[in-house]
Structure 1
Amino acid sequence: MGDHSAHEPLLLREDDRFGYVKKTSFWLSSVKWILKVSMWVIFIAWATFLFVYPLESVTELFDKWIEATRGTVFGLTGSIFLLFSGPILIIAFLAIILLIISGEEELHENTTRKARFRLWTFPVIVDGPFGVVSAAELIGIVLFSVYVIWAVTVYTIKNQKIISSFDLHSKEKSAMMLELTGLRFGLIGLFCLAFLFLPVARGSVLLRVIDIPFEHATRYHVWLGHLTLSLFTLHGLFYVIGWSMQGRLLEELLQWKNIGIANLAGVISLSAGLLMWIPSLPSVRRINFELFFYSHQLYVVFVVFLALHVGDFIFTMAAAGIFLFMLDRFLRFCQSRKTVDILSATCRPCGTVELVVAKPANLRYNALGWIFIQARELSFLQWHPFSVSSSPLEGKNHLSVLIKVLGEWTSKLKGHILNVSKDEPQTGLLLKPHSKITASVEGPYGHESPYHLTYENLILVAGGIGISPFLAILSDILHRIKDGKPCLPKNVLIVWAVKRSNELSLLHTVDMESICPMYSDTLNLEIQTYVTRESEPPLEEGKVQESVNSPIFPATKRCGMSVLVGTGNIVWSGIYVVASTIGLVISVIVLDVFYINPFNITYWWYKGLLFLACMMASVLIFGGLAVGLWHLWERKTTAMEESEENEKNGYTHSEPVMPKDPCQGNAANTIRYGQRPDFQEIFGTISERWGDVNVGVIVCGPPTLQVTVAKECRTQNLRRRNNHPIFHFNSHSFDL
């Protein structure tokens, strides 16, 4: 294993492997560079404006901007929307252009061969309330913390100046100070709300352009959610205390002003926020996930009554993130309405179910991908995320997932498959139509580029069913080697911890010898397996444990997944975003010209509701038209591909592949019983053998495993010598 080291660029062009290099167009590179710089400049300017907004001088400039744009067709609402939400939408437009002209070209760009630290993959905090935190994430946490402290300090000073200008008694001053402080907390919370919905838009072009997968972005949404609702809670609490001191609490809570803030709407919005927030706390979420899931649907109530509470022009300060989330949510709704064929279902002896799902040939995803599955026979409401366990190169018309039977939903799924197999013995015939599993799928989601291919040296650490995405990686590497596609990994170490030896058969769902018989000439693969709850091999270790159930489901119409979401067609995705945004502008103009201005509509809460209605209408009407055309294009493209291939590349069922000897081919496979991985020893050995290289460490497993591996990566990096590698920590574990 030590014979291979990183002495080539981190990612080779396909042409490089054949002795020549195809240079990227100078103009194309220049345009991409201009787009990236423009996006960063706009974002930094926008974030800086939000940061310095509490300053008196900036407030004065803001007032001048409002006065200068007051006579436009959009009025005050349009001025504030352009200033606070416009930059995010402009960045989204530039991101669409960048993704379109980049295509898959980023995959073939050379990167440095020298080992160096990276902020995104260097774990700094490994055990705390935030979990494993990288250096880049820590910078983000610090910036938000500094902003909140800074804003509260500046506003407190301004509040004291305001109060000192009035001749009031001490009790009146205290009440006024509480109300002003509550007002400031609400404004700070509104600025944090501007970020809150950006990470939770699963297929957002913003996440795709910065290559942050949804399972990572959910962590940022959780952090921002805690911060935002803490600020809004303080906002309401300070007002409640101030009103109580003045003896007008009930009166103020029930007040619904037509001109000004509607307090009752704010009470309803905050109540919905608290009902979402409490079940989302880790201690509650672990005990009752469904309570968290269903209570989180109150975000609709939270947003609607927030718009009623503050009115249209204040709501527009956070409208961009909410609008992008609405775009994503509508697109996911359209995708999830489609019924998807489950081509086969296998119950393995270790309590794991393998599902093979139909997909169109033009659906693109990476090996480290996620899909959300809903089985209508089990529940109409529950969606569950699963890692894709197959490579995108395995088959054009199918992908597979491995599902560990742990909870109620997965137990029902296994029971349904067992009942099907009991009613329909395996006689080589297809199951009857009534036996089908009716499923819907969202995704695939994941990294925009296959980052596992950017490392020449990989350490894949899995716990239990966490081996699933690494089977996809292994299959992807083998297929790339076989097909001569760009593939950098040369040294791969898999460290897998399982509880029982009956789980070992999962590793053999990838038949390495049949995929690429000569893979050992290019790939140096080592597998270390640890069976933690068995002290010695079972007596039947040499026997093959068959997969007891493998029903084949009829799929005559090839009803595959939709390509509307995830890493789908960026051109159509861009058309959808642009069309919806243009629709929002047109809707607001029409509303102002033909209704608000002629009828002199001035009620704040009503205008807030109308603006929210414009957002929804633009998504449903203008965006819906784009989605409809996208769907027609998808159907036409899929039909053409099926006609051309004439079913020859379609998925055909075969009998389950029997597990082979653990040492397939030339892969070094060691199995240790009654012990856990000693990562200090493993990483220390790798440091001595691989030398001064970049090592990608990808972990998929429980939080304790992630913490242990992250801690060892940090230790090795901090103690690193010049001739030792740098370990880049990457997590692939989904946790809502």
Structure 2
Amino acid sequence: MGELSDQVPLLLRKEDEFDYLNKTPLWVSSTKLILKVIMWMIYIAWASFLFLLPIKFINELQEKFIRATQGTIFGTTGSTFLIFSLPIFLIAFLATIRLVLSGEDEPQLKKNAKGPKFRLWTFPVLVDGPFGVVTAAEMIGVILFSVYIVWTVTMYTIRNIDLLSLFHVHDMKENSAVLLKLGLCFGFIALICLALLFLPVARGSVLLRAIDIPFEQAIRYHVWLGHLTIALFTLHGLCFVIRWATQGRLVERVINWKNVGVANLPGVISLTAGLLMWVTSLPGVRRKNFELFFYTHQLYVVFVVFLALHVGDFIFMIAGAGIFLFMLDRFLRFFQSRQTVDILSATCFPGGTVELVISKPANLHYNALGWIFLQIRELSWLQWHPFSVSSSPLDGKHHIAILIKVLGDWTEKLKGNILNLSVEQSDKAPLLQHNRKITASIEGPYGHESPYHLTYENLILVAGGIGISPFLAILSDILHRINDSKPCLPRTILIVWAIKNSDELPLLDTVNMEAICPLFSDKLNLEIQTFVTRESQPSLEEGKTPEAMHTTISPGFKGCRMSSLVGTGSVVWSGLYNIVSTIGLVISVTLLDIFYINPFNVNYWWYKGLLLIGCMAASVLIFGGLVIALWHLWERKTSSNEESEDATKKTDILQQNEASLPRNSGEAQFLNNIRYGRRPNFQDIFGSHAKSWGSVDIGVIVCGPPTLQSSVAKECRRQNFLRKGHQAIFHFNCHNFDL
């Protein structure tokens, strides 16, 4: 509940800043508003029910509702589904319809005539500590969820409210045991957390798109909920272990596997898998051994399956909606990631950075603040690495570019492969041989649903090292929009870039600003302040930056593009995929009840839990697979139509390759103030611009390590607290540096 409580208010966050084109029919705007109101009403009703459930009157109503459906086909599983899971499915369905109505129209941005104003979702409250930077909206969500936990535990234990009916415990002697009540209470709250735990990691989730929170930001909510979920499940288990130990029945009860009732051994196995995932996900372990974290995290399958065996089908359905939506997302991502893509060009920069230009279909849309996950099969079949997109969607219809910093074994091998290919290409080796050396697959792109970087007239972009990558995409996007007279508010941009060595400076040349927007300096006030922290003075002549030494290969074009089989690729198809699969789940459970469970009087809890998991998997494979097959046929038909655009496509690719050629950095098209041996002083930078820019909203976007994020957030908070009547308001936004 707390997770959604800090996100649902953000449903209004971006739309308030957009005024769509007047061509939008009135009925479309009205329908979207009605859908938003209905979604709010469903969420408020669901959250209110969870909060009020510990009250005896509401608890008794729920018990009556569960008993009222016991004689139906679905039994208690159906009633649990209606109470706990159906609201999430309904919100997802309505969000799909709303996104379809929104379409891909260009937003017409409007200035805020009332002057700058504070916003909960961009006002940092906590800037240091284990949670990282926490905004006011996120803090409200954390407080609400903390109140919910304390309230629920208090009411179910101290006030002696009957939770046992939900879990079908009827032993009155056990009913008086405090440890039993605490254990059940912790388990119930953990199931509520589990219902939300998988939603942030569904990368193409329509729910995340509806509230405009991208995966790379939502992942931190998954981390918070993960810690809390495992803590609650651990307390749940400890309550029973202590109780059994005091009764002298510890081993007997731990290995118990009941046919009717809760089976304890599957619960022990599930908790063990959860603890292993939790330990290896701690920052110290993950940072030092990412592969251990990655492979151990696949135990989520064991965790979920044995949890279903532990609690049975009807209790498992409390968390069923979130788990099922994640299964849908994972299955779709599996299909997209099987397709290989063309790498149109690969470039090595002297500072240890690689640029890849990848082929994509024209109908695959993404945001300038987008992400993709990349796999190179020659390096590893299992490893997928996330990278920010460094090109604007307006740079070209048929390609997308990323910048990769050489930091570890995987990236070092990638650079080595590119250098080897460059040598072979210089010897005129066959292009087909080159292609076999770099076989890439892509998952994504993911990112913000709306281009919020276009909603500020004044932008401050703070980057650390390779964190400049998404800002190159933003800069290119803004230049394209200004040149094409498309909706775009930013007219004043300050880029603050902190790098270790000056050999990273040529990365700025990857955006040919004058080619994108001739005489852009007349329309855009751009200032770049670069801080070279580990060099006390320039290594070349004063006023000159090192020239980029590119090593470029063009492996050739075979017509293999990124697949659009991803939740962010097509709202209509992804929505149809979710709806059909969910209907398929209902049909599967209905047929199972009619033809197997009810006729044969199957009552084993653990077995029915396993059957429910089987129905989920079957509905994803059969019903979802059918939609994916149709989607794939549609994609192939669309791609075949694009083949007729070969001339345009080749021109597009040639322009990209030409843009990536070395340019003389001495002919600077922008003001780049380079300071050596210094770190940026954000107090001076923000303070001076707060005075010079006047009473305006300043959008601050930071992409860098956690220390940089904290420093920028702290200064935004400080400037806002000390703000006087006619000074600027700083709005903190973070583009995650590392996943």
TM tier, smaller = over 0.9
How much has 1:232 moved relative to structure 2? 0.2
Aligned to 1:394: 395
- Root-mean-square deviation (CA, aligned residues, Å) is 2.1
Q: For the Cα contact (< 8 Å) 2:259–2:605, is it kept in 1? A: yes
**Which of 677, 683, 690 pairs up with 2:686?**
683
Q: 1:162 to 1:528 in 2, by over 3 A?
A: closer
Q: For the Cα contact (< 8 Å) 1:505–1:659, is it kept in 2? A: no
Aligned to 1:376: 377
How much has 1:59 moved relative to structure 2? 1.1
Greater CA deviation, 420-429 or 672-681?
420-429
How much has 1:72 moved relative to structure 2? 2.4
Q: For the Cα contact (< 8 Å) 2:109–2:487, is it kept in 1? A: no
Aligned to 2:554: 552
CA-to-partner distance for each residue in 1:467-497, whole Å, 9 max, x for gaps?
Answer: 0000000111111111121111100000001
How much has 1:340 moved relative to structure 2? 1.1
Q: For the Cα contact (< 8 Å) 1:14–1:486, is it kept in 2? A: no
Aligned to 1:658: 662
Q: Secondary structure at the match of 1:550?
A: strand
How much has 1:175 moved relative to structure 2? 9.9
Q: 1:244 to 1:735 in 2, by over 3 A?
A: farther
CA-to-partner distance for each residue in 1:643-663, whole Å, 9 max, x for gaps?
Answer: 145445441344842243366
Aligned to 1:703: 706
How much has 1:258 moved relative to structure 2? 0.3
How much has 1:346 moved relative to structure 2? 1.0
Q: Secondary structure at the match of 2:588?
A: helix
Aligned to 1:45: 45
Q: For the Cα contact (< 8 Å) 1:431–1:551, is it kept in 2? A: no
How much has 1:735 moved relative to structure 2? 3.6
Greater CA deviation, 150-159 or 604-613?
150-159
Aligned to 2:204: 203
How much has 1:337 moved relative to structure 2? 0.6
Q: 1:59 is aligned with what amino acid?
A: N
Q: 1:61 to 1:106 in 2, by over 3 A?
A: farther
Percentage identity across paired residues of the two chains: 66
Q: 1:633 to 1:382 in 2, by over 3 A?
A: same
Q: Gaps (5+ residues) in structure 1?
A: 1-8, 16-21, 164-171
Q: CA–CA distance in 1 between the matches of 2:180 and 2:187?
A: 11
Q: For the Cα contact (< 8 Å) 1:475–1:512, is it kept in 2? A: yes
Q: Secondary structure at the match of 1:488?
A: coil
How much has 1:426 moved relative to structure 2? 6.3
Q: 1:543 to 1:680 in 2, by over 3 A?
A: closer
Q: CA–CA distance in 2 between the matches of 1:617 and 1:300?
A: 15
Q: For the Cα contact (< 8 Å) 1:124–1:135, is it kept in 2? A: yes
Equivalence map 1:99-138=2 (5 Å): 99-105=99-105, 107-108=107-108, 110=110, 112-113=112-113, 114-138=115-139
Aligned to 2:35: 35
Q: 1:663 to 1:50 in 2, by over 3 A?
A: farther
Equivalence map 1:40-439=2 (5 Å): 40-105=40-105, 107-108=107-108, 110=110, 112-113=112-113, 114-159=115-160, 176-425=177-426, 430=431, 432-433=433-434, 435-439=436-440
Q: For the Cα contact (< 8 Å) 1:436–1:553, is it kept in 2? A: no
Q: For the Cα contact (< 8 Å) 2:510–2:660, is it kept in 1? A: no
Q: 1:662 to 1:181 in 2, by over 3 A?
A: farther
Q: 1:74 is aligned with what amino acid?
A: F
Q: 1:440 to 1:490 in 2, by over 3 A?
A: same
Q: 1:469 to 1:57 in 2, by over 3 A?
A: same
Q: For the Cα contact (< 8 Å) 1:367–1:476, is it kept in 2? A: yes
Q: CA–CA distance in 1 between the matches of 2:331 and 2:18?
A: 38
Q: For the Cα contact (< 8 Å) 2:547–2:665, is it kept in 1? A: no
How much has 1:514 moved relative to structure 2? 1.3
Q: CA–CA distance in 2 between the matches of 1:197 and 1:602?
A: 29
CA-to-partner distance for each residue in 1:198-218, whole Å, 9 max, x for gaps?
Answer: 111000000001100101100
Aligned to 1:5: none
Q: Secondary structure at the match of 2:82?
A: helix
Q: For the Cα contact (< 8 Å) 1:175–1:243, is it kept in 2? A: no
Aligned to 2:615: 614
Q: CA–CA distance in 1 between the matches of 2:186 and 2:606?
A: 21
Paired residues in the alignment total 712
Q: Secondary structure at the match of 1:530?
A: strand
CA-to-partner distance for each residue in 1:98-152, whole Å, 9 max, x for gaps?
Answer: 0001113473364634211111110000001100000011111111111111111
Q: 1:112 to 1:74 in 2, by over 3 A?
A: farther
Q: CA–CA distance in 2 between the matches of 1:523 and 1:14?
A: 24
Q: For the Cα contact (< 8 Å) 1:100–1:571, is it kept in 2? A: yes
Q: 2:725 is aligned with what amino acid?
A: N
Q: For the Cα contact (< 8 Å) 1:10–1:488, is it kept in 2? A: no
Q: Secondary structure at the match of 2:363?
A: coil
Q: CA–CA distance in 1 between the matches of 2:83 and 2:313?
A: 14
Aligned to 1:669: 672
Q: 1:381 is aligned with what amino acid?
A: L
How much has 1:555 moved relative to structure 2? 1.7
CA-to-partner distance for each residue in 1:585-619, whole Å, 9 max, x for gaps?
Answer: 11011101111111111100100111111111111
Q: CA–CA distance in 1 between the matches of 2:191 and 2:16?
A: 42
Q: 1:662 to 1:14 in 2, by over 3 A?
A: farther
How much has 1:160 moved relative to structure 2? 9.2
Q: CA–CA distance in 1 between the matches of 2:127 and 2:630?
A: 47
Aligned to 1:169: none
Q: 1:616 to 1:433 in 2, by over 3 A?
A: same
How much has 1:173 moved relative to structure 2? 8.9
Q: 1:540 to 1:379 in 2, by over 3 A?
A: farther
How much has 1:27 moved relative to structure 2? 2.1
**Residues 1:720 and 2:723 are matched in the alignment:** yes
Q: 1:77 is aligned with what amino acid?
A: T
Aligned to 1:537: 538
Aligned to 2:12: none
Q: 1:573 is aligned with what amino acid?
A: S
Q: 2:352 is aligned with what amino acid?
A: G
Q: Secondary structure at the match of 1:495?
A: strand
Q: CA–CA distance in 1 between the matches of 2:737 and 2:618?
A: 33
Q: CA–CA distance in 1 between the matches of 2:16 and 2:629?
A: 41
Q: CA–CA distance in 2 between the matches of 1:301 and 1:13?
A: 47
Q: For the Cα contact (< 8 Å) 2:505–2:545, is it kept in 1? A: no
Aligned to 1:19: none
Greater CA deviation, 512-521 or 680-689?
512-521
Q: CA–CA distance in 2 between the matches of 1:734 and 1:44?
A: 34
Q: 2:712 is aligned with what amino acid?
A: V
Greater CA deviation, 64-73 or 719-728?
64-73
Q: 1:593 to 1:106 in 2, by over 3 A?
A: farther
Q: CA–CA distance in 2 between the matches of 1:65 and 1:218?
A: 36
Equivalence map 1:621-632=2 (5 Å): 621-632=622-633
Q: For the Cα contact (< 8 Å) 1:353–1:402, is it kept in 2? A: yes
Q: 1:734 to 1:577 in 2, by over 3 A?
A: farther
Q: 2:108 is aligned with what amino acid?
A: H
Q: CA–CA distance in 1 between the matches of 2:572 and 2:580?
A: 12
Q: 2:26 is aligned with what amino acid?
A: F
Q: For the Cα contact (< 8 Å) 1:175–1:245, is it kept in 2? A: no
Aligned to 1:597: 598
How much has 1:291 moved relative to structure 2? 1.1
**Residues 1:731 and 2:724 are matched in the alignment:** no
Aligned to 1:692: 695
Q: For the Cα contact (< 8 Å) 2:589–2:612, is it kept in 1? A: yes
Q: 2:453 is aligned with what amino acid?
A: H
Q: Gaps (5+ residues) in structure 2?
A: 1-14, 165-172
How much has 1:23 moved relative to structure 2? 5.8
Q: CA–CA distance in 2 between the matches of 1:45 and 1:606?
A: 33
**Residues 1:447 and 2:451 are matched in the alignment:** no
Q: 1:233 to 1:41 in 2, by over 3 A?
A: same
Q: For the Cα contact (< 8 Å) 1:11–1:455, is it kept in 2? A: no
Aligned to 2:4: none
